[in-house]
Structure 1
Amino acid sequence: MKTTSLKLVLVSTPIGYLGSGKGGGVELTMRSLIKGLLSLGHKITLLAPQGSVLPSDCSAAEIRHVPGIDQPSWQHQEVSAPVVIPPDGVLLGLWEQALELGKESDAVLNFSYDWLPIWLTPRVEPDLFHLISMGAVSQVMKTLISELSKSDPSRLAFHTYRQASDYELFGEPVVLGNGFDLNHYDFQPLGGGPLGWAGRVAPEKGLEDAVAVAAALGDRLLVWGVMEDPEYAKKIESNFPPGTIDWRGFLSTAELQSQLRTCRALLNTPKWNEAYGNVVVEAMACGVPVVAYDRGGPGELINSGFTGWLVPPDDVVAMTEAASQVGMIDRKECRNWVENSASHDGFARRVESWIKKGISTTKFPKG
């Protein structure tokens, strides 16, 4: 079947510029998807906060920078918190341009977990689509997503079924998984290195549990990620033997995978329902088994006993025992799973199919 080229507007997360690390896994998702959509022949315009950058392999996409103050993240607010949109915030600027560009495009794809774009969806002319990046951490967002699911479910998609189950949806959810450019991850067949952990250094990521596992095994834990809560980090460090934590900071994909692939296992310890679990897949792409709490998205990504181990949530003893058994895992099985289930081109095809099915039948691609 002939592929019809689409004109797509992609709207980035407003909580930080691309390359800052503030956007977490959304940044990686966007870069992989843009490359995949370009390879399918689609025309991409990306709206992103001032300072955002794309890798050279995404240079065919047009990027428009929007100034403004970062939008507060729902990750750091109470579940019952009200909507807050700074009057000089980047969120308003992003969507002012998105609605204008959307008039001459086939669809607008939103990556931000924010009230405004979802509320706008049934009220504006452009076709807006939302790849929801988080679980139901906000009651107002949960309600709004449920309402859109009832009126137009084709406009919503999720990364995993576990993430989607956080919401009160009408009908089966659209689940797209995620995608990674595997050319950026080198397979390492040999294990035996240290333990690793990656993520934002913040309480909901549960770093203290991973450190406890490393300490129990008399091991060193390599830690990568944005230092979002320095006081939290200091408290953890003070509770364990010196040298247990090896802080590596926030690194580019190339730098991260070069260090991550030396690990014998990645520990994944979230205290909340992760929507997907990008670092889980990045580790497996390098051949690194993952020991994770069976909570949220990672529970759908890990084949326990084959690509790592799933243990009961918050059970540090069980995680310690599982981490001591990662030598039983065939590291090639980890890489094989990623190649079969989470490539960037496969992800782009799934997103393409979702958008084409959801575009109004009264509209035609503008070419």
Structure 2
Amino acid sequence: MTVHPLRLVLVNTPIGALGSGRGGGVELTLTSLVQGLILQNHRVTLISAMGSQLPSRCSAADLVEVDGVDQPSWQHANSKSSVIIPRNGLLPALWKAALEHGERADAVINCGYDWLPLWLTPYVRPRLFHLISMGNVAMVMREAIEALACSHPGRLAFHTHRQAADFCLPGAAKVVGNGFDLSNYNMQTKTNGPLGWAGRIAPEKGLEDAAAAAAALGEPLLVWGFKEDRDYADFVEASVPAGTLVWRGFCSTQEMQEELGRCRALISTPKWNEAYGNVVVEALACGVPVIAYDRGGPGELIKSGETGWLVPADDVAALTSALNRIDEIDRMDCRAWVESHATHEVFSARVYDWIRDGLRADANLTGTY
């Protein structure tokens, strides 16, 4: 495939600086995408909050930092919540900078999940593309996504088909998956390590079910992640015998993969329609099988019986039973799946195809590219 280098502006989530952990999986997605696009010789400008840090392998990107108050996450809103933008908000500050830099770019890629950039798309000269990072969590967001799918279908992409199915789209969804720099993940063949769980510590991630399964087996559970909801973390810890949860905190990719790779299995227990499941693929990259609820992105990523086991959603007994079958999984098959489906090279190539096709569609309508 011939790649024609583009000038691209990428916009981070308006929830925290890059590297803080507050942006959840978007941070890892964004850095992987930047790295892959740079390898394809695209010129990349990243717009992010003040205090953001890019990994060394993304140093060829131009980082533009803007100041502002973090945007409330739609993840914690109810389905009928209204659009809220705080005074001196980071969201409008990011998009002011993005539109300014977008005037000199071929395309602007929105990696955050919020209403403003979706609404702006038909009315501004820079061509805005949106990598949707969550499923249907609020009516106002669903309506904005579905409206844009009707007016500008080429401007939307999703991580998985299950995520895209949350929305009523006029045609087939563009699904680009996700990707990771596998040089950051060491394949480990050890099979008798502890159980692990990773993610933001928040109710929609379902840590209490993983804790219950570990407790049923009388084993500790190593937990990595940012404690977004400390009351919830306390609740989960109180629900199982003392010492069941071993809090490892928010770690760098290097630190986490070293510890995660020693695990016998990773448990994934989403209570919502997870758009993708970054930590699932990170575990597989280390050769760690994944036991997961058959819900959302993880249910699309895991090959049950080959790279782990899928069990009915919210069934702790089935989760516990599947943990006893980990030895049936070949850890080399876990790594092989990632090498074929989820490297940052594969991911950035899919994103490039999406942007290229969208720009060509615009050119057919306007006569300009």
**TM-score interval, smaller chain:** over 0.9
Q: What residue number does 1:145 align with? A: 145
Q: What residue number does 2:175 align with? A: 175
Q: Secondary structure at the match of 1:35?
A: helix
**1:106 aligns to 2:111 (yes or no):** no
Structure 1 unaligned regions, length at least 5: none
1:102 counterpart letter in structure 2:
G
RMSD: 0.8
1:87, CA displacement in angstroms? 3.0
**1:231 aligns to 2:231 (yes or no):** yes
Q: What residue number does 1:290 align with? A: 290
1:163 counterpart letter in structure 2:
Q
Q: Secondary structure at the match of 1:130?
A: strand
Q: Secondary structure at the match of 2:215?
A: helix
Aligned partners of 1:318, 1:30: CA distance in 2, in Å? 34
Aligned partners of 2:2, 2:279: CA distance in 1, in Å? 35
1:2, CA displacement in angstroms? 4.0
Aligned pairs (5 A) from 1:81-160: 81-160=81-160
Aligned partners of 2:131, 2:115: CA distance in 1, in Å? 13
Aligned partners of 1:164, 1:2: CA distance in 2, in Å? 28
Q: Secondary structure at the match of 2:20?
A: coil
**1:310 aligns to 2:310 (yes or no):** yes
1:230 counterpart letter in structure 2:
R
**1:76 aligns to 2:76 (yes or no):** yes
1:311 counterpart letter in structure 2:
V
1:363, CA displacement in angstroms? 3.3
Q: What residue number does 1:218 align with? A: 218
Q: What residue number does 1:363 align with? A: 368
Q: Secondary structure at the match of 1:297?
A: helix
Q: What residue number does 2:43 align with? A: 43
**1:262 aligns to 2:259 (yes or no):** no
Q: What residue number does 1:299 align with? A: 299
Q: What residue number does 1:17 align with? A: 17
2:179 counterpart letter in structure 1:
G
1:185 counterpart letter in structure 2:
Y
Q: What residue number does 1:190 align with? A: 190
1:151, CA displacement in angstroms? 1.0
Aligned partners of 1:350, 1:297: CA distance in 2, in Å? 17
Aligned partners of 1:164, 1:3: CA distance in 2, in Å? 27
TM-score by length of 2: 0.98
Q: What residue number does 1:348 align with? A: 348
Aligned partners of 1:98, 1:239: CA distance in 2, in Å? 45
Aligned partners of 1:347, 1:238: CA distance in 2, in Å? 40
Q: What residue number does 2:162 align with? A: 162
1:3, CA displacement in angstroms? 2.4
Aligned partners of 2:257, 2:168: CA distance in 1, in Å? 37
Aligned residues: 364
Aligned partners of 1:305, 1:73: CA distance in 2, in Å? 35
Aligned partners of 2:27, 2:276: CA distance in 1, in Å? 13
Aligned partners of 2:206, 2:36: CA distance in 1, in Å? 32
Q: What residue number does 1:55 align with? A: 55
Q: Secondary structure at the match of 1:247?
A: strand
